[in-house]
Amino acid sequence: MNEKKSAMPAYLKYIFALAFKQKRRIRFLAILLFVSVAARLTEPYLYKVVVDTLTDGLVARGFVSAQFTTLIVSVAIWFFLAVVVNTASAQMSFLVWHIGIKSSEEIHLLGYRRLLKLDYEQHMAEHSSRYAKIVDDADVSTWEMTNWWLGRFSSAILGFLGMLVIALIVSWQMTLIAVSVIPPTLWFIIRHVKKYEDEQRRVNKMWEEKHEHLADQVANIVTYKLNPHENVFVKRHEVYSNNATSAQLALNKRWRLVEMLNPDAFARFLVLGAGIFFVQNGAITLGTLFMFMGLLNEILTPLHLMGDILPQYTRRAQHIERLLGLFAQEDKVANPASPRNILAVNGRVAFEHVSFSYPQEKSGFRISDVSFGIEPGQTVALVGHSGSGKTTIMTLLTRLSDPTHGRITIDGIDLREFDLEEIKKYVGTVLQENAMYNETISANIAYGDPAATKEQIIRAAKQAHADEFIRKLPKGYDTLIGERGIRLSGGEKQRVAIARAILKDPRIVVLDEPTSALDSITERKVQQGINELMKGRTTLIIAHRLSTVRNADIILVLEDGKIIGEGPHEKLVKTCPTYKTMVDLQVEGFLADRSLPAGK
């Protein structure tokens, strides 16, 4: 049985759901809205009273005291209502702004949380700035939509309904003439909205590409700084900017047709013509005609709003729909319905016939039928050529991805039975390039344990052999390190990452080529920190350098996603040709470097 499609779009339901959480503000806004609309509804009636009173006095060639009283009271009431409307409008504007800013803040935080939980594979498949832009666009669009619906549309719709009732009472004939233009106009507008929705999605994609290109340029600013031809960089970005701008302008030109065909003038012409006829025949007074023309403004206001806002409205609606689509997207790596209650682990790791491939790849498995075990406190090293599957094993052990076949266990328990937060607690990582944030050294280390004290952070830094260089910085542990840790050297960043892992105090440590980009002197300093981190912990090392892996209890040699050799260094040199070749190449390279004359 097909589910009945809701008349209200999902994005609109979500906007109202966010807004109505703020019950007190919504109630106050509703009161102000009714007061404001009631005041506006009264104003055209005052026009009628004033015009009719003036007409009667002019026809009689004199005004009696009662007429003067009527005029004075009408003006006084009009002034009072004007003050009420202005005051209520100001309060409503602030309330709508407040509700909108709170709603946008909530959707921003929900979007941020969704990005944190989004599959690692999804993050890797898209540009790094794409998802951030989805959240940012939805944040701004939520505020805009809240402002439109609670501020402008609600007032216009309520005013329209009130004025419609009064207008029908005053003259049902003129009311029917006035509203006769609304159905075809709505049909015309809705038809164009549906017609241009897909076109707006295409244009939105161009804005995304422009944003992504700009993010790329800024993230890799060093390339620009080290190369000439500034005009080439600018022209490349100009292409993205021009494409998006031109496409949006072309679409907005079509929206202009909707605004140009607004029936306001035609409706006023019909109503005024009919009104003059009715006044001549004595069916209504001149004051009633003035009153009706005032009512007509409110009746036609919703159509004016639709014409003004529609070009932006469609784009904003799609921004929110994209985030809702992200919320609805099912993750492959997700928490089990009933996670195992695990208080602690010993650190025994096992890969049992594990195979893995990315769904989009047709070429086969990244790793195939891999099985090995690591005992608590044991160190196992993975070596192999680039692309052999080493880093894939790291992503599986940290449950950034799940195996396509087979299973991975810690202490005999399948990783998929763990709460995802528990895995993060028990498994610590130090990568070749570790995330560094534009915060203080202390804050960067504290990502390992946000509840850690300053003393614990310093102790971890000392164990990582980072304390010495940190204390030499201008503000020590309170020094800002810049975006991606740009103010630190490679070795310093690695030692901060090691301190972060030590502070986390995991039972299992994964080291993914942590010293491969460092010189020999810096490597020795970092290795001292790594040794502290490895003490008493189950360790999986991924590395190319012989000096990093030769002391491992077991070395696994990978080739084309399969284990082709297993054992200690001494054994593999004799039994595994691939491993021996790697060792020989490193030794030859080292000796060749040593044989070069100074300065060469």
pLDDT digits (tens, 9 = 90+) for 372-381: 999 999 999 9
Would you say residue 120 lies in a domain? Answer: yes
Say if residues 408 and 396 touch (Cβ distance below 8 Å).
Answer: yes
Same domain, 438 and 305: no
Residue 31 has pLDDT above 90, yes or no: yes
| 180: its two tokens | 């006769």
538-542: strand order across its sheet: 427-430, 508-512, 538-542, 379-384, 554-559, 562-567
Residues 390, 317 within the same domain:
no
| 372 shares a domain with 318 | no
Residue range 230-244: mean pLDDT, rounded: 81
**Does residue 584 carry a pLDDT above 90?**
no
What local confidence, expressed as pLDDT, does residue 15 receive? 93
Q: Are residues 418 and 301 in the same domain?
A: no
Indicate whether 57 and 122 sit together in one domain: yes
pLDDT at 287: 82
pLDDT at residue 595 tops 50: no
Residue 188: pLDDT band (50, 70, 90) is: confident
Q: How confident is the model at residue 465 (pLDDT cuts 50, 70, 90)?
A: confident
**Domain membership flag for residue 443:** yes
Do 310 and 448 have their domain in common?
no
Q: Is the pLDDT of residue 2 over 60?
A: no
Q: Please check whether residue 502 is in contact with residue 534, taking contact to mean a CB–CB distance below 8 angstroms.
A: no
- From the CB of residue 471, how many other CB atoms can be counted at a distance below 10 Å? 11
pTM assigned to the model: 0.77
- CATH number of the domain where residue 566 is located: 3.40.50.300
Report yes or no on 4 lying in a domain.
no
Greater model confidence, 496 or 204: 496
Q: In the prediction, which pLDDT does 590 show?
A: 43
Same domain, 59 and 162: yes
pLDDT above 90 as % of the chain: 24
| Banded model confidence at residue 260, pLDDT cuts 50, 70, 90 | low
Instruction: Give me the chain's average pLDDT, please.
Output: 83
pLDDT bracket for residue 370 (50, 70, 90): very high
* Res 226 pLDDT > 70: no
What's the CATH code of the domain at 318? 1.20.1560.10
Question: Does 343 fall in a domain?
Answer: no
Of 174-188, 471-485, 579-593, the range with the highest mean pLDDT is 471-485
The pairing of strands 379-384 and 554-559 is parallel
Give CA–CA dist 497/451, Å, rounded. Answer: 17
- Residue indicated by tokens 């001292």: 528
Closest listed residue to residue 532, CA positions, set 430, 403, 385? 430
Both 370 and 304 in one domain: the answer is no
Partner residues linked to 559 by β-bridges: 562
Q: What is the pLDDT of residue 542?
A: 87
Query: Distance between CA 340 and CA 330 in Å, rounded?
Result: 22
309 plus 422 within the same structural domain: no
Lowest mean pLDDT among 107-121, 243-257, 433-447: 243-257
How sure is the predictor about 596, in pLDDT bands with cuts at 50, 70 and 90?
Answer: very low
Instruction: Give yes or no for residue 531 having a pLDDT over 90.
Output: no
For the range 323-328, what are the long-range contacts, defined as Cβ-Cβ under 8 Å and sequence gap of 24 or more? 323/107, 323/111, 323/114, 323/134, 323/135, 323/137, 323/138, 324/10, 324/11, 324/14, 326/111, 326/114, 326/118, 326/131, 326/134, 327/110, 327/114
In a domain, 65, yes or no: yes
Residues of the domain holding 422:
349-594
Residue 361 has pLDDT above 70, yes or no: no
Q: Are residues 166 and 43 in the same domain?
A: yes
Q: Per the domain annotation, does 229 fall within a domain?
A: no
In this predicted structure, the answer to whether residue 448 has a pLDDT above a threshold of 80 is yes
Number of structural domains found in the chain: 2
Answer yes or no: is pLDDT of 227 > 80: no
287/401 same-domain check: no
Please give the average per-residue pLDDT across 457-470, as a whole number.
Answer: 90
Query: Is residue 530 in a domain?
Result: yes
pLDDT(131) > 50: yes
What pLDDT band is residue 58 in, cutting at 50, 70 and 90?
A: confident
3-state secondary structure of 526: helix
Each residue's pLDDT tens digit, 317-358: 888 999 999 898 888 888 888 888 888 889 999 999 999 987
Mean pLDDT for the stretch of residues 207-233: 73
Q: What percent of the chain has pLDDT over 70?
A: 89
Each residue's pLDDT tens digit, 387-422: 888 888 988 999 988 999 999 999 999 999 998 888
Asked whether residue 396 falls in the same domain as residue 515, the answer is yes
- Give 301's contacts (C-beta < 8 A, 6+ positions apart): 156, 159, 160
Q: In the Cβ-directed half-sphere of 559, how many Cα atoms lie within 13 Å?
A: 10
